[in-house]
Amino acid sequence: MKLKNENEILFLIRYALPIFTLVVSIVISIFLYFETEINLKKLKKETKDLYIEEQKHLVKSQVENVYNYILEEQRYTEDNLKESLKSRVEEAHKIIVNIYNTYKETHSKEQIKEMIKTAVYPMRFNNGRGYFFVNDKKGNNLIHPLLHFLEGKNLLNTQDSKGKYFARKTLEILENNEGGFDQWYWRKFKDSKKEYKKIGYVKNIYELNWLIGTGEYVEDFEKDVQQKVLEQIDKFKFSKNGYFVVINKNGKYIQHPRKNLLGKDAYDILKDANDSTVVKKAKNISSLGEGFLKLNFSKLNDENSYSKISYAKKIPKWDWIISTGFYLDDINKVLEKKEKEMVENFNENTRKIFMIATIFSLALLLISFYISVLIEKRFKKYKFDIEKHVDENKKQYELLSQQSKLASMGEMMENIAHQWRQPLSLITTAASSINFQKDMDMLTDESLKESVDTINNSANHLSETIEDFRGFFRTNKQVTKFSLSSSLEKTFKLLSSHLEKRDIEVIKNIKDIELLNYERELLQVLLNILNNAKDALEEKDNEKIIIIDIFEEDKYAVIQISDNAGGIPDDIIKKVFEAHFTTKGEIKGTGLGLYMSKQIIERNMNGLLDVCNTQFDYKGVVQKGAKFIIKIPK
């Protein structure tokens, strides 16, 4: 912002800081409010997401617990079956031994056999599937409650469905053991096409030299285990609507709190309330093994459909899918309560923020007013000191500028003397010719006119030269419109004699550009730079070259002055624009020329002045030297 006068500065000092403080306080308060509101929304979302994740973790852990329970039951199915068979055989064995011991003294062996048969025949277990058989040690079957036709037959050559002589194996087991387990494969009565694994337990009846045994199909026992597991799962509950669902490998419900759904196709029921994508994802879980599923389903006591997130996991070996989940509307009820608490906290925090912000703003406002008063006092004092220093610097700058010009006056006087020699010689010659011709009575009107013209022309040249030098040393500054090519020619008029005397060739690549600026100031800069180039080239023996390029670049007119004097040493090139720095010695130089040149270009003309070392090709030879770059705004 450009200030018009001191009153505007004082106005800013008095009121800018308080206003700024007030605005900043208001902005901060508004920012804090919206930031808190954004944080509240973010917190609501994070709370909801976190709560849902917690619920997902909960239902997953519930499924994992049931999953582990089922695996545990599966792991010990055969062990439990064996334990059950052994226990049953032990019970039957005790009954048989007890009958024998009771009647061995009073009854024959055949009578005891019939009593044992009568006792063993009705014995059943495992839902009526289990029974006992009795053989002697020769492989003859004595008792078989189901297959009566086997009684009295020798079974040593009878094989199971895989070719195993199970009667022989039984005798081998009991040869050195009181009892033992065996397994074989047999076809069921109702399914003669498929072989089923069967586990049995046999035990010696030493008193009669018999053996008693029983067996059970693993699949049948496993179904009992599965039914027990399903009954146990039916009892598991972990929330109001938290229950477990089990689907078998055919997609049928085998466990559901709604008993009317048992045996129905689960995927058909899901399809009625969801799109095909949900059903597809549900079916994919059977191949993936586990996963979450978002679906729509009714609650236990409500037929309406609600959004639900379920977690399902596949039970290996049995090919079951067990799942449970939670309803999102139940979550929303809990979240609404939490959100209400958060909104209340937000409103309370907002009130506190505005209260603190108001107090803080008032305190800052008072402090800012106090600081403004101090700054105003300091400003007035500094203003006085600055004006004093500005006046001193202005006088010093003008003195240095004039001193710089005066430092060049000796060289200028030499130029004047050199440029005056020829016209003065012409005037002297013309005057002598008139006197001689007059004395010899040879003076004609034509020769007199020619000599007078020569004297007048020479006098005019002397007058123009004086005017050029006088213009250079004028101290007044005035913005004028001028041509760069014209300014350069004026400079060469002042330096032409020195350049010719030292055989310095000047190469010009000039684009004529018009500027509105201080021409006399620019002439002084050009003269200083060219004088430095001339002095640097004076010690050079071979070709001496100065190249001047003038062109446009962006918003600047650019003047580049290069020489082939070898350049400026790297250790001093950055110092050449410092005041009183010179490489010519105290007798030849003052160190003001380049310093004042940089001040003129950058301070007075709003331009740029810099120097660097350069090299260029001239007549096939690489030349090295310094290059001064002047940039002046167009």
Reported as a single tens digit per residue, the pLDDT across 56-80 is 898 899 889 999 998 888 888 888 8
| Average confidence (pLDDT) over 192-212 | 90
Sheet holding 210-217, edge to edge: 141-143, 133-136, 210-217, 195-205, 179-187
426 pLDDT more than 80: no
Given a cut of 70, whether residue 466 has pLDDT beyond it is no
pLDDT tens-digit readout, 275-334: 777 778 888 887 788 989 888 888 777 778 888 888 999 998 898 999 988 888 877 777
- Distances from the Cα of 223 to the Cαs of 112, 126, 127, 218, in angstroms? 37, 11, 11, 9
What are the φ and ψ backbone dihedral angles of 624, each rounded to 5 degrees? -120, 145
CB 258 within 8 A of CB 243: no
Q: Is 101 exposed, middle or buried (0-12, 13-18, 19+ CB in 10 A)?
A: exposed
Distance CA(379)–CA(372), nearest Å, equals 10
pLDDT, tens digit, 9 for 90 and up, residues 383-398: 777 667 666 665 655 5
* Beta-ladder partners of 201: 181, 214
Torsion, CA 363, CA 366, CA 368, CA 373, rounded to 10: -160
Smallest CA-to-CA distance from 449 within 470, 464, 432, 434 is with 434
pLDDT band, residue 147 (cuts 50/70/90): confident
In this predicted structure, the answer to whether residue 588 has a pLDDT above a threshold of 50 is: no
Q: Is 151 helix (H, G, I), strand (E, B) or coil?
A: coil
> What average pLDDT score do residues 125-143 get?
92
pLDDT at 420: 62
Those residues whose C-beta lies under 8 Å from the C-beta of residue 510, and which sit 6 or more positions away, are 484, 485, 488, 548, 549, 550
| Residue % of the chain over a pLDDT of 70 | 82
How far apart are the C-alpha atoms of 137 and 122, rounded to whole Å? Answer: 24
Residue scoring higher pLDDT (582 or 168): 168
Q: How far is CA 214 from CA 96, 252, 424, 545, in A?
A: 14, 34, 154, 125
Please report how the helices 77-103 and 6-75 are oriented relative to each other, as an axis angle in degrees rounded to 10: 30
pLDDT per position as a tens digit, 82-103: 999 999 999 999 999 999 999 9
Q: Report the b/e string of 34-67 with b at 16+ CB within 10 A.
A: eeeeeebeebbeeebeeeeeebbebbbebbeebb
Question: DSSP letter string over 5-49?
Answer: SHHHHHHHHHHHHHHHHHHHHHHHHHHHHHHHHHHHHHHHHHHHH
Host H or E run for residue 614: strand 608-618
pLDDT band at 583 (very low <50, low <70, confident <90, very high): low
Give the domains, in start order, of the chain with CATH numbers. Answer: 87-222 (3.30.450.20), 474-633 (3.30.565.10)
Mean pLDDT of the chain: 81
For 408-444, where are the alpha helices, taking DSSP H only?
409-439
Neighbour-count burial of 205, counting CB atoms closer than 10 A to its CB (0-12 exposed, 13-18 middle, 19+ buried): buried
* Paired tokens of 270: 């899901």
Residue 377 has pLDDT above 70, yes or no: yes
**Amino acid residing at 1:** M
SS3 content of the chain, % helix, strand, coil (to 5): 55, 20, 20
Determine the pLDDT at residue 445.
77
Amino acid at the residue 614: T
Q: Which residues contact 103 (CB under 8 A, 6 or more apart)?
A: 111, 112, 115
